[in-house]
Amino acid sequence: MNAIMSLSVTRTTPLRLVLLASLLVALVVAVALSLVLGSNHLGIGTAVRVLLHDDGSEAATIVRDVRLPRTALGVLVGVALGAAGVLMQGHTRNPLADPGLLGINAGAALAVALAAQVLGVVDPGGQVWFGFAGALIATATVFAIGSSGRQLSPVPMALAGAAVMALLSTFTSLVILSDNPTLDVYRRWVVGSISGRDASISLGILPFVVAGLVLAMLNTRALNAVSLGEDTARGLGQSVAASRLVGLAAVTLLAGAATAAAGPIAALGLIVPHVVRTLTGPDHRWLLPCSALAGAVLLLLADVAGRLIAAPAEIPAGITLAILGGGAFVSIARRTRLVKV
């Protein structure tokens, strides 16, 4: 058996390395496209020149002040949501799970709405911290309700998440429907977008994304064992409760920071792990980093597509991905049902 597993690793590792390298190249290409394409098209040479030297030109303003912060945020949010989706699907053993299952989106939404109505916070730079705090509080509530003793079982967690999401969504509706200015602020945030954010937002969420990625990578070996079943994982010496706690903490940091900064872009965490899993296989040591890179690539390309389709106006990346995610969701649901039958 060990020889067979060793042979499998020998045969598949080069292919996975090629995939990882290909995704890195794709990310570089997506970053370049994000810097040069939009209502004002620029050449790649011009973009590189103004990045290296600010000559005060219009091109320098567009690239350095508008597109570079937007691209950096797109990379961080895409990486965070791609990795968070892998963790959620792995720990819940639910192919249709995404980070919103923990109430992260609902908590961030209520916090942003309350900040706008009570404190008058309407700029993205202020919203991000309230959104992150709301996401953390909502996740802590789901943990408190869904944990059974010292166990963190997927079904109680999912039920707790659904209950908390329903309750928070009701409160959010009451807040935004009672005040038109708050509704306008919430409407701009809830579509999910990486535009209009300055560099301070990316710098602000960077520590949380890095911490979440470190926890996620440390969790991959345990997640491989848990995916075989709880009894098998315990037989292999893994603490199921501890591995779930680490994994869900990583999801909270990753998805909480991403949602607070860019609004809810839920489809990304659902689509990316499924696509990448067909190429890497179920080994989370490869699935997680590849999904993180693929998430960044997909988000940047969706953002660029939104700029080009509606130029000179823009379609937010969250809407572009929601359209793509709707078809992917139906496909995944049908395939899952057929497999069970």
| DSSP code string of 323-341 | HHHHHHHHHHHHHHHHHH-
Structural contact between residues 112 and 242, judged by C-beta atoms closer than 8 angstroms: no
What local confidence, expressed as pLDDT, does residue 41 receive?
Answer: 84
Region of 193 (left: φ > 0; alpha: ψ -120 to 50; beta: rest) is beta
C-alpha distances (whole Å) from 11 to each of 7, 22, 280 are 6, 18, 12
d(CA 107, CA 255): 12
d(CA 42, CA 27): 19
- pLDDT tens for each residue of 268-321: 888 899 889 888 888 899 999 999 999 999 999 999 999 998 777 888 998 888
What local confidence, expressed as pLDDT, does residue 151 receive?
Answer: 61
| Confidence bin at 96 (pLDDT 50/70/90) | confident
- pLDDT tens for each residue of 234-269: 777 777 778 888 988 899 999 999 998 998 887 888
Among 273, 265, 248, residue whose Cα is nearest residue 299: 265
C-alpha distances (whole Å) from 329 to each of 144, 276, 280 are 29, 15, 20
Helix H or strand E encompassing 57? none
d(CA 325, CA 115): 30
- pLDDT tens for each residue of 13-56: 788 899 999 999 999 999 999 999 988 888 888 888 988 888 87
Among 321, 226, 338, 207, residue whose Cα is nearest residue 271: 321
Among 319, 318, 208, residue whose Cα is nearest residue 262: 318
SS3 state at 151: strand
Question: Which domains are present in the chain?
Answer: 14-340 (1.10.3470.10)
Res. 328: pLDDT tops 60: yes
